[in-house]
């Protein structure tokens, strides 16, 4: 049997530039190619110097979030002949995300960041020519050929719905009699747009598992339905007091989930049908792709067309500079972490010190991001969302809701116990999250080896 190794190409054990190399004999398969959201330049990139240029045989992309796709043109520059496997939806979304990334980097260059942009619009266009669409539950040889039922290959891959965002997929790799499953980012619970993951349940040799929510338990008695009702009631209370709501959202995934939720709120009488809703230009582009693929991808409410049926106002260009937060309106703006020079960051200066307005968080925010700092602040604290804006006293209403697109630690634990792998590699999580999984899974599965793959060090599988 030929040796199989796994190498973490990220520069640290954290949620960042997600990318991993699986080597089967002389074949290399790279899983994801992300950019770190908080770093710049080389520190934002996976350590692709660990692999000889031209040595990668295939790339597998789990989904289109920047921390999984953002470095893909850089990887393809080093390995220009490698096919890149992804679902149809991930292909459509990734093109938009990468071109938007170029636009952001061009602005950063104008602000004095050396070496930006890391790649160009033309390079993105060229890179897409090597992208191979692989439908879920169909096996492919890593050369790009679809395999007939019963047909074998030295290394094969098969996608399974991951339930995280549109197009997200877990990947089952079969090599020399071993089964290796990479979850990517996963959610086992139904969301508003997305159906829960549909993963293989047979025993595995190796499970490469995300751990994002491992540092927090699901509150006892928590239900998504009750959380939705609580959100609708918060809107009503803010509007009744003459305020507006700023909802910082990721443009991909969370924006579409919230638009679908607003549609349901209107239908149930929980939100006025004439309540104006504002989204950003990138969120609108990505929502258009959701609408175009509505009947071609597994989802809840397949007939719902977000842009037509919810009819949000789109904020972009000069409108963004003149945006005024008004009473009785919802501003569902990116970025979700309120990164500097984004719509949500700019709009925050109108909200933070106004007790009639509300700042509502519905998903993850890095503790060091502007959103993370506001989430941990107390009423009356002085906060500053950008060096461009003066510090402000936090007087607006701040609320936090749990609509995470990531699996709960309880459901990930249950999945690991169901497939009972010989080895589990814990990735995509902070140290506390990985530590919880390592301790708990070692107790659940005493014969399973639980590993935290250190950056740059090959692990034998």
Question: 291-330 burial by CB neighbour count: b if 16+ within 10 A, else e?
Answer: eebbeebebeeeebbbeebbebebbeeeeeeebebeebbb
The domain over range 4-216+405-460 is classified in CATH as 3.40.1010.10: no
CB 396 within 8 A of CB 355: yes
Q: What does the block give as tokens for 20?
A: 């991993």
Structure tokens at 255: 């924006």
CA pair distance 397, 320, nearest whole angstrom:
23
Other Cβ atoms closer than 10 A to 26: 9
In the chain, where the domains are located: 4-216+405-460, 224-400
| Residue 317: per-residue pLDDT | 66
To the question of domain 224-400 being in CATH 3.40.50.10890, the answer is yes
The token pair at 107 is 């602005």
pLDDT of residue 319: 66
Which residues lie below 8 Å from residue 103, measured CB to CB, with a gap of 6+?
none
* Cβ atoms of residues 18 and 208 within 8 Å: no
β-bridge mates for residue 32, sequence order:
none
Give the separation between CA 399 and CA 50, rounded to whole angstroms: 44
pLDDT, position 114: 87
Alpha carbon 47 to its chain centroid, in Å, reads: 21
> What's the chain look like in SS3?
CCCEEEEECCCCCCCCCCCEEEEECCEEEEECCCCCCCCCHHHHCCCHHHCCCCCCCEEECCCCCHHHHCCHHHHHHHCCCCCEEECHHHHHHHHHHHHHHHHHHHHHHHCCCCCCCCCCHHHHHHHHHHEEECCECCEEECCCCECCCCCCCCEEEEEEECCCCCCCEEEEEEECCEEEEECCCCCCCCCCCCCCCCCCCCCCCEEEEECCCCCCCCCCCCCHHHHHHHHHHHHHHHHHCCCCEEEECCCCCHHHHHHHHHHHHHHCCCCCCCCCEEEEHHHHHHHHHHHHCCCCCCCCCCCCCHHHHHCCEEECCHHHHCCCCCCCCEEEECCCCCCCCCHHHHHHHHHCCCCCCEEEECCCCCCCCHHHHHHHCCCCCEECCCCCCCCEECCCEEEECCCCCCCCHHHHHHHHHHHCCCEEEEECCCHHHHHHHHHHHHHHCCCCEEECCCECCCEEC
pLDDT one digit per residue (tens) for the chain, 461 residues:
679 999 999 988 888 899 999 999 999 999 999 999 888 888 899 999 999 999 999 999 999 999 999 999 999 999 999 999 999 999 999 999 999 999 999 988 988 888 899 999 999 999 999 999 999 999 999 998 899 988 989 999 999 999 999 999 999 999 989 999 999 999 999 999 999 999 999 999 999 999 999 999 999 999 999 999 999 999 999 999 999 999 999 999 999 999 999 999 999 999 999 999 999 999 999 999 999 998 888 889 888 999 999 999 999 866 667 899 999 999 999 999 999 889 999 999 999 999 999 999 998 888 889 999 999 999 999 999 998 899 999 999 999 999 999 999 999 999 999 999 999 999 999 999 999 999 999 999 999 999 999 999 999 99
The answer to whether the Cα torsion of 252, 257, 260, 262 is positive or negative is negative
Tokens 């019963």 identify what position? 150
pLDDT for 298: 83
Nearest to 227 by CA among 327, 352, 363: 363
Could you identify the residue written with the tokens 């009423």? 379
Are the C-beta atoms of residues 199 and 304 closer than 8 Å to each other? no
Residues 8 and 30: their CA atoms lie apart, in Å, by: 10
């Amino acid at each position: 049997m030929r040796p199989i190794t796994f190498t973490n190409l990220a520069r640290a054990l954290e949620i960042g530039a997600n990318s991993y190399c699986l080597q089967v004999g002389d074949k290399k398969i790279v899983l994801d190619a992300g950019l770190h959201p908080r770093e710049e330049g080389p520190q934002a990139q996976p350590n692709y110097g660990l692999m000889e240029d031209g040595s990668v045989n295939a790339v597998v992309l789990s989904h289109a979030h920047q921390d999984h796709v953002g470095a893909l043109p850089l990887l393809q520059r080093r390995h220009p002949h490698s096919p890149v496997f992804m679902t149809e939806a991930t292909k459509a979304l990734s093109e938009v995300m990468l071109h938007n990334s170029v636009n952001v980097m061009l602005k950063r260059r104008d602000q004095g960041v050396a070496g930006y942009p890391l790649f160009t619009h033309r390079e993105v266009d060229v890179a897409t020519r090597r992208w191979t669409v692989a439908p879920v539950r169909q096996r492919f040889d890593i050369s790009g050929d679809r395999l007939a039922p019963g047909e074998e290959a030295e290394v094969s891959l098969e996608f399974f719905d991951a339930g995280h965002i549109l197009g997200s997929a877990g990947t089952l790799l079969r090599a020399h009699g071993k089964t290796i499953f990479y979850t990517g980012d996963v959610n086992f619970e139904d969301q508003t747009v997305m159906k829960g993951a549909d993963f293989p349940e047979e025993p595995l040799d190796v499970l490469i598992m995300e751990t994002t929510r491992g540092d927090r338990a699901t509150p006892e008695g928590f239900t998504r339905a009750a959380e939705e009702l609580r959100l609708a009631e918060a809107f009503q209370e803010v509007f009744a007091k003459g305020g507006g709501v700023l909802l910082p959202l990721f443009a991909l995934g969370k924006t579409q989930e919230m638009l679908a939720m607003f549609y349901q709120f209107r239908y149930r009488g929980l939100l006025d049908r004439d309540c104006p809703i504002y989204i950003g230009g990138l969120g609108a582009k990505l929502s258009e792709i959701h609408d175009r693929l509505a009947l071609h991808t597994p989802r809840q409410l397949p007939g719902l067309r977000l842009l037509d049926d919810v009819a949000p106002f789109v904020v972009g260009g000069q409108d963004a500079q003149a945006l005024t937060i008004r009473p009785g309106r919802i501003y569902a703006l990116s970025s979700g972490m309120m990164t500097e020079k984004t719509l949500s960051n700019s709009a925050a200066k109108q909200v933070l010190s106004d007790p009639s307005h509300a700042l509502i968080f519905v998903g993850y925010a890095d503790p060091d991001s502007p959103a993370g700092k506001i989430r941990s602040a107390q009423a009356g604290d002085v906060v500053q969302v950008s060096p461009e804006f003066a510090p402000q006293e936090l007087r607006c209403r701040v609320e936090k809701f749990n609509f995470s697109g990531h699996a709960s630690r309880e459901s990930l634990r249950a999945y690991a116990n169901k497939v009972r792998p010989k080895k589990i590699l814990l990735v995509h999580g902070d140290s506390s999250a990985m530590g919880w999984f390592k301790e708990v899974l070692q107790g659940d599965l005493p014969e399973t080896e639980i590993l935290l793959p250190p950056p740059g060090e090959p692990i034998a599988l």
